[in-house]
Structure 1
Amino acid sequence: MTQSRHYVLAAGGTGGHMIPAHALAEELMRRGHRVALVTDDRGARIPGLFDGVQVHVLPAGRLSGGPIGWLKALRKIFLGRAMALRLYETFRPSAVIGFGGYPALPALMAAQRDRIPTLVHEQNAVLGRVNRLVAGKVDAIATAYDQIDRLAKAHREKTHLVGNPVRDEVLALREQPYPALGEDGIFRVLVTGGSQGATVLSRVVPDGLGMLPEHFRRRLQVTQQCRAEDIEEVRGRYASLGIPADLATYITDMSDKLAWSHLVIARAGASTIAELTAAGRPAILVPLPSATDDHQTANAREMAKAGGARMIAQRNFTAVELAKQMQKLGLEPEALANAAARARAVGRPNAARDLADLVERTGRDLGSDPLPARNNVLSPAASGAFA
């Protein structure tokens, strides 16, 4: 076993940032290391992640809103940087790893001030804003895709393709066969819009499934994530169509739902793509058009090109188009199983291992230091310092 070290992971509070950070934390702890998480209020509230890891909430300003907004953001960033410096005095990390999102910025700035090695992991196929800001100063850049847009040529020598880490329970699905699908058997559809849901899926998917031929529609069984404001309307629509549907605002047992799914209809967030390709599940992907730098369309490129997914731009995502694509896939079990195999072929199952290897190579030895109290969530309104 390698010598035990301390690592700080810094991630913005969305599933796309938090899930790969969680997967890395699990791998590092398996290797005997200690891990702390820096995030925002949203990240600290996501259920099922970072159990047994000390969590610190930092203020993080978003650089938007004109000069006044920038000044407010800078104040928060430097307050977060000061709090991170106090954490490093006691925790003494061997490296700080950023996963994008504005909460990662003050943690990385503090590490660079203390000359602590830093890395960033980019989950998307377009380098994000915070990662672009720090790319020139970090020691290494880990990526999830071979083709990364907005990555400067000057930084490619320190760039390493590792993939996007997923949770252990999702990775375990890779060893299970794609669920058998007979011509008259139940056809299970999983619909997910990412950690925040997606109104367009709630609006289009029930109507699209309702347009399928009756013999196909009778076979459907749907699990769908919806926004809270949409869920009752969607429930009523499925009931009127006679389609069994299990609806929730947040799917906590995603690995179980993926395990029995024959087809997934989803946004093209980084974690969604990583989980689909790790498990080997075919998909109809509807990239979020307002995503920064249109990164969801870029995320879907590899899986769609390989034949593991069909990508539909949101402007073209209608009930008629969905019904057409569903029939092309669902009425040919061999085509669906082939798409599942193609999705699996572009997965990178060793992402957590490879990223942990990179972290260990980049980090420095500092010896064993006393740890602050575990599971200690602090906000700027608390003591003002890490304890």
Structure 2
Amino acid sequence: MSNGRHYVLAAGGTGGHMVPAAALAAELTARGHHVALVSDARGVRFPDLFDDIATHVLPAGRFSGGPLGWLKAGRQMVAGRRMAIQLYRGFKPAAVIGFGGYPAFPALAAAFHLKIPTIVHEQNAVLGRVNRLVAGKVDAIATSYGDVERMKPAHLGKVHLVGNPVRTSVLELRDRPYPVLDEDGIFRVLVTGGSQGASVLSQVVPDGLAMLPVHFRRRMQVTHQARVEDIDMVRQKYAAHDIPAEIATYLPDMPERLAWAHVVIARAGASTIAELTAAGRPAILVPLPSATDDHQTANTREISAAGGARTIRQDQFTATELAKQMQKLGLDTLALANAAARAKDCGRPHAARDLADLVEGIDSPRVPLPPALVREAA
């Protein structure tokens, strides 16, 4: 593309924000555009996501800790906005795209000041705090779900359903068949609590898997991502139940692990759901109860209603309940394959493409915007 434009992506420093931002960066770069990332110190150090992208750290505090904390955060936001304005005057972005998280706010505020077109992308099924704060000012709101809580009726006219972009290595799994589970074959289970692990999964899952029918337990192979402090405990539990298990704090080859799995037991973060539905893998989901606005529970509704997953509240997550829900999900070949297909039906594999189309169209009348999602206000 000879007339490539400049775009700024602004995202908080967690995987849930950074992964879709990286997927969009790759798509825009492939189209001949130039991309810069604005984040916090965590975000610019994310491994392998933005190696070829110019990155900038902006100060952005969280509004917590009482009046003194609010004052400090306000000062950081003002400083971040000032730095973003300086960046934009040199880089001259055609649009600024926010992915949520406090570091996105000063970048968007600077764009409002300079009258640069803006878009926010919401990964979860509940509109996040920063995105709620700016929703009235941005030009478009891209969503990952057809029904997003905390969205004001006045903003529905600029909502565009695109899905949640995932890494190419995960998207490629969509073209690979669900692994055949022969009667005497290995039954593979992947357990992951996200980038930080989840102690509750380490405490419950080994005992729950041990309660499954004997013919499954004897041929089970588990890969379990656990926190450092839980490693020894998890290893001892699986050994006591005579269940072969690989335990690690970090799985660098997660896409391949996902391809290998018959069932996934996981938290319900936005990226996890997006990857499960992209690849088509049935799951047992345990939403993080402390997640802001309980957004992880909201994230599970679509895939659970479709039959691609079972959801267990953390306060009800016991070994007995896990074993029961695993059997309801289906432990025979046909039932598991059916659940995998239902999970896959919830995927939106063209999310990066559709979001890039929206970005290109926001500042150019030559490229029509995708039609806004039309929904009745709740």
TM-score bracket for this pair, using the shorter chain length:
over 0.9
Aligned pairs for 1:235-384 within 5 A = 235-363=235-363
Q: Kindly provide the CA deviation profile for residues 148-170 of structure 1, in whole angstroms up to 9, marking residues without a partner as x.
A: 10000111101100000011111
Cα distance in 2, alignment partners of residues 2 and 126 from structure 1 = 39
Aligned to 1:59: 59
Q: Which runs of 5+ in 1 are unaligned?
A: 366-387
Offset at residue 57 of structure 1 (A): 1.4
Does the residue aligned with 2:228 lie in a helix, a strand or coil? Answer: coil
Matching of residue 227 in structure 1 with residue 227 in structure 2? yes
Aligned to 2:209: 209
Cα distance in 1, alignment partners of residues 288 and 250 from structure 2 = 18
Aligned to 1:137: 137
Q: Which runs of 5+ in 2 are unaligned?
A: 366-378
Q: Kindly provide the CA deviation profile for residues 281-335 of structure 1, in whole angstroms up to 9, marking residues without a partner as x.
A: 0000111111111101111000000000001111111011111222334532111
Aligned to 2:371: none
Does the residue aligned with 2:116 lie in a helix, a strand or coil? Answer: coil
Cα distance in 2, alignment partners of residues 169 and 45 from structure 1 = 20
Q: TM-score, normalised by structure 1?
A: 0.92
**For residue 145 of structure 2, what is the amino acid of its counterpart?**
Y
* 1:117 and 1:364 in contact (8 A); partners too: no
Matching of residue 5 in structure 1 with residue 5 in structure 2? yes
Aligned pairs for 1:111-150 within 5 A = 111-150=111-150
Does the residue aligned with 1:120 lie in a helix, a strand or coil? Answer: strand
Q: TM-score, normalised by structure 2?
A: 0.94
Q: Kindly provide the CA deviation profile for residues 196-251 of structure 1, in whole angstroms up to 9, marking residues without a partner as x.
A: 21111111111111222332111111111111211222122222222222222222
Cα distance in 1, alignment partners of residues 364 and 71 from structure 2 = 35
Does the residue aligned with 1:265 lie in a helix, a strand or coil? Answer: strand
**For residue 57 of structure 1, what is the amino acid of its counterpart?**
V
* 2:22 and 2:50 in contact (8 A); partners too: yes
- Among all aligned residue pairs of Structure 1 and Structure 2, give the percentage whose two residues are the same amino acid: 72
**For residue 249 of structure 1, what is the amino acid of its counterpart?**
T
* 1:183 and 1:331 in contact (8 A); partners too: no
Aligned pairs for 1:99-114 within 5 A = 99-114=99-114
Aligned to 1:183: 183
Cα distance in 2, alignment partners of residues 305 and 317 from structure 1 = 19
Does the residue aligned with 2:305 lie in a helix, a strand or coil? Answer: helix
Cα distance in 2, alignment partners of residues 230 and 295 from structure 1 = 26
* 1:2 and 1:31 in contact (8 A); partners too: no
How many pairs does the alignment contain?
Answer: 365
Q: Kindly provide the CA deviation profile for residues 89-120 of structure 1, in whole angstroms up to 9, marking residues without a partner as x.
A: 22111111000000000110111111111100
Cα distance in 1, alignment partners of residues 212 and 248 from structure 2 = 24
Offset at residue 66 of structure 1 (A): 1.8
Offset at residue 252 of structure 1 (A): 2.0
Offset at residue 364 of structure 1 (A): 5.4
Aligned to 2:42: 42
* 1:209 and 1:323 in contact (8 A); partners too: yes
